[in-house]
Structure 1
Amino acid sequence: MSSGCCDVADPEVTDDPRLFGVRGLVAAWSTSAAAFAGFSLLLPVVPWAIAEEGGSDTVAGSVTAVFMFTTVLTQIAMPRLLRRFGHRATLVAGCLFLGPPSLLFLVSMEPAAALGISAIRGIGFGMITVASAALVGELAPARLLGRATGMLGIAIASSQMIGLPTGLAIAERFSTTPVFVLGAILSSAGLIAAARLPRLETRTGPPPARMPFVLLLLPTVSVGAGAIAYGGLTSLLAIAVADLPVAAALAVLSGSTLIGRFGAGAIADRLGAGRMLPVGLGLAALAMVPFALVADGRAGAVVLIGAAVCFGLGFGVVQNEALLIAFRRAGSEHIGSASAAWNIGFDAGTGAGSFALGAIAASAGYPTAFTVAAVLVPVLPLLARLAGPSERPGVAQSAERPGAD
């Protein structure tokens, strides 16, 4: 697959029929895994460290908010940056912005310093999230794209499954110093993988015509709707049901997401992208009902774990299907825009879910918040589907694969 928006892949890069034989894919997955490992280690530790040093809850929460704010701003600018500098340069820059600044936390954890460092790291994270997904879309041939994006999801989620609990455990057992050092090393290790990416031919012609965003509305809103529920669960579940095995449930949720994402990719490679999206949305929405029952005290640990499995499978399907639909609708000349839209939907949805569902929980209770999420997950994508065209003219030919959404 080639792109007129950034780099054009040499045909030799994509002519191996095996997934792991496609030049550059393993390096792309490894870059993302390393970056997300460093990100995940620090995600719960920085707010915790601020609170431990006497900072307010507002400041502790603000560091993550600032990080995500600069992440989304960077993601908005990424299509233009990819066109100008290409994937390798933006991935290298992203690793440098995300990794080494983590060491500055060793110098100061004062609120102003912590917020500034988080803002810088958010820029790097925004670069990596968009460039890595766009690169997979560039390198993978159409017949393998579903599994290639599924493997990207596995690389990212595996790093998060390990990094999130490990960082906090190290900080609580020893200190924050090894966490900040390890986070810097892991994120910077992505530079090694980035150096192994194949050279792509940069297209020097005029930029492609602007693509109407409405074409990406459905995949962006779909992943955003799932992320709203996900953000609410990761932020509120431990508070709502403190006496149940929430940590185990979240781990199961993450593992199920891996299965759902890769499984959806394998199905998409056989049947076409988009066919499993309603199934994924339905599973994710359905799972929020038992979460509400658990939060209301009418169900216990078994239902909690079952809901986590159901939501993880559904959200994994939604993630992969939404990305594939975005790639198909954007066409080869706008892969960077498709990746940016997907990542913005995911990150903005996660932040909005944490905030909005938290506000609902504060006023009406956790069962109500989870019930609202159950409604939003299918309704928002339906409204997006009704608001825009189903496909871009001629997209079936440019995508080189069957399927409909």
Structure 2
Amino acid sequence: MVGTSPAQGSVLRTPGMLTAMAMAAAAFGGFALLLPVVPLVVSRAGGSDAVAGAVTATLMAATVLTQLVTARLLRRFGHRTVLAAGCVLLGLPSLALIWVATSAPAVLAVSAVRGVGFGLLTVASAALVAELVPAERLGRASGLQGIAIAATQMLGLPAGLALLDRFSVVPAILAGAAVPVLALAAIVRLPSLARPTAHSRHGAGLPWAAIAVPWAAVAAAALAYGAVASLLPIAVADAAAPAGLLLAAVSAAMLAGRYSAGVLSDRTGPGRVVWPALGVTAAGLLAFAVGVVVDAGAGQTSALILGAVAFGLGFGAVQNDSLVMIFTAAGPGRTGPASAAWNIGFDAGTGVGSLTLGVVAAVAGYPWLFVVAAVIVPVLPFAVLTVGGSRRAHR
């Protein structure tokens, strides 16, 4: 990997690190602008909760399918080309939503194209950081990039909703289309990196037994995040707490959770944070369930705000620790496949969560949506851990 040794200064002085953070901020900021906006527009046009959830699910499905081949694309074209293609595909097709925002099939088609761009970005950006910094600083570096992403999400999620509510869908879509394209200015300044070698082809050699638990952890937490990002604005439409404020609180707490987990990971080794973080994530979801019932009826916001902070802290910590666990287990030379594995877990979870939990909301109501998510978050990785332990004991 390219980067400084521990004696050569902070992670931020690693060549290319600040540029990588600026690129991620713009690219993921544009994604955040439209993440809650598009499902809400579909809902206001008469679409059901299940259809609104399907918007994010379609985007994430295309994202995951793209992630399956992104490591191969990185090997062939390099980081800068793949990142640039991702920014363009995520941003420019969003302009079509100005004319088709009330047509569910058309929105789903645009979401699929944007998902291709997002899939390229997610894998290439995480792999880029793992190539820039030495392994002993990967936790902090991943946390810093997480700060860049969470900070723009903290601004982008409520900004998109504010543009939609104060003006119309057009300014929100224009912003969501333009911001990812701005990342191209940072991409051209990234240092040249050696392309992944044939050693990493198709994810060969990834120790799937070792990465199964962190993969399940990020997938379960992301499943809940898909519901929170896509359906929370609809769930709290009658509550005193504005949806934009709650989503901003989630993103701010994610920022703190990711970096704190990164510092702990570098000091104590990966894997020490993920289980407590899953518990905090589940507690936040239960607070959302209480808040949707109590706060909406009484005009109070305490449970919803508490839920946003707890969920964001836990989810941010799960993201960072699981990512470092997977990179560490994969070892050098496999950053592309390792990044793809983590991102597939994250984005598949997000898409499945927005769709399946949207169905739960339609059938049983929003409180049960968050209760079900709170159960899944710790149970899924624990089940994977238990099955893995049983197989090892049998052998």
TM-score range, shorter chain: 0.7 to 0.9
Answer whether contact 1:55 1:111 (CA < 8 A) is retained. Answer: no
Residue range with higher mean Cα deviation, 271-280 or 248-257: 248-257
The residue type equivalent to 1:268 in the other structure is S
Instruction: Please say if residues 35 and 190 of structure 1, whose CA atoms lie closer than 8 Å, have aligned partners that are also in contact.
Output: yes
| Conserved? CA contact 2:71–2:340, under 8 Å | yes
Give CA deviations for 1:142-167 in whole Å, capped at 9, x if unaligned.
23211111111111111122122222
**Separation in structure 2 between the aligned mates of residue 312 and residue 235 of structure 1, nearest angstrom:** 15
> More displaced, 113-122 or 129-138?
113-122
Q: TM-score, normalised to structure 1's length?
A: 0.84
* Bigger Cα displacement from structure 2, 28-37 vs 159-168: 159-168
Which residue is 1:185 aligned to?
Answer: 178
Cα separation, 2, equivalents of 1:366 and 1:62 = 16
Residues matched between the structures, number: 381
Give the partner amino acid of 1:369: L
How far apart are 1:265 and its partner, in Å?
0.5
Deviation for aligned residue 1:13: 9.3
Alignment map for 1:41-190 (pairs within 5 Å): 41-48=33-40, 56-57=47-48, 62-106=54-98, 109=101, 113-190=106-183
Structure 2 CA distance, aligned partners of 1:376 and 1:50? 27
**SS of residue paired to 2:80:** helix
The match for 2:331 is 331
**In 1: Cα distance, 2:241 partner to 2:290 partner:** 15
Residue 261 of structure 2 aligns to which amino acid in structure 1? A
Query: Does the residue aligned with 1:198 lie in a helix, a strand or coil?
Result: coil
Q: CA deviation at 1:74?
A: 0.5
Task: Output the amino acid matched with 1:159.
Answer: T
What is the rounded CA distance, in whole Å, between the counterparts of 2:71 and 2:265 in structure 1?
25
Change (3 A) 1:289 1:140: same
CA contact (8 A) 1:232 1:354 kept: yes
Of 243, 260, 263 in structure 2, the residue corresponding to residue 263 of structure 1 is: 260
Question: Does residue 218 in structure 1 map to residue 213 in structure 2?
Answer: yes
Separation in structure 1 between the aligned mates of residue 189 and residue 5 of structure 2, nearest angstrom: 13
The alpha-carbon deviation at position 82 of structure 1 amounts to 1.7
Determine if contact 1:161/1:251 at 8 Å carries over to the other structure: yes
Say whether 1:251 aligns with 2:243: no
Q: How big is the shift at 1:238?
A: 4.2
How large is the RMSD of aligned CA atoms in angstroms? 2.8
Closer/same/farther in 2, CA of residues 307 and 77 from structure 1, 3 Å limit: same
Shift of 1:73: 0.7
- The whole-number CA distance in structure 2 between the counterparts of 1:156 and 1:120 is 21
2:360 corresponds to which residue?
360
Q: Deviations over 1:291-318 (max 9, x none)?
A: 3333443995223322222222111111
Name the structure where helix makes up a greater proportion of residues.
Answer: 2
What SS does the aligned partner of 1:332 have? coil
- 1:362 CA drift (Å): 3.6
What is the identity, as a one-letter code, of the residue corresponding to 2:144?
A: M
User: Deviation at 1:371?
Assistant: 2.5
Identity of aligned residues (%): 49
Q: Is the 8 A contact 2:160 2:172 kept in 1?
A: yes
Per-residue CA distance 1:232-263 (angstroms, 9 max, x = gap): 33344444453231523332222111111111
Q: Is the 8 A contact 1:256 1:312 kept in 2?
A: yes
* Distance of 2:15 and 2:205 partners within structure 1: 30
Q: Deviations over 1:270-311 (max 9, x none)?
A: 111111111111211233333333344399522332222222
AA of the residue aligned to 1:341: A
Measured in 1, the distance between the counterparts of 2:43 and 2:367 equals 28
- Give yes or no for contact 1:157–1:258 (8 Å, CA) kept in 2: yes
Query: Quick check: 1:214–1:389 contact (8 Å CA) kept in 2?
Result: no
- The 1:272–1:359 alpha-carbon spacing in structure 2 relative to 1, beyond 3 Å, is same
2:83, 2:125 within 8 Å by CA — same for their partners in 1?
yes
Q: Distance in 2 between matches of 1:368 and 1:113?
A: 30
Secondary structure at 1:288 match in 2 = helix
Counterpart-to-counterpart distance in 1, 2:193 and 2:223: 36
- 1:45 and 1:376, CA in 2 relative to 1: closer, same or farther beyond 3 A? closer
Supply the distance in 2 between the matched residues of 1:239 and 1:178 (Cα, whole angstroms): 21
Partner of 1:228, secondary structure, is: helix
After TM superposition, give the deviation of residue 24 of structure 1 in Å.
0.9
Instruction: Name 1:369's counterpart in structure 2.
Output: 369
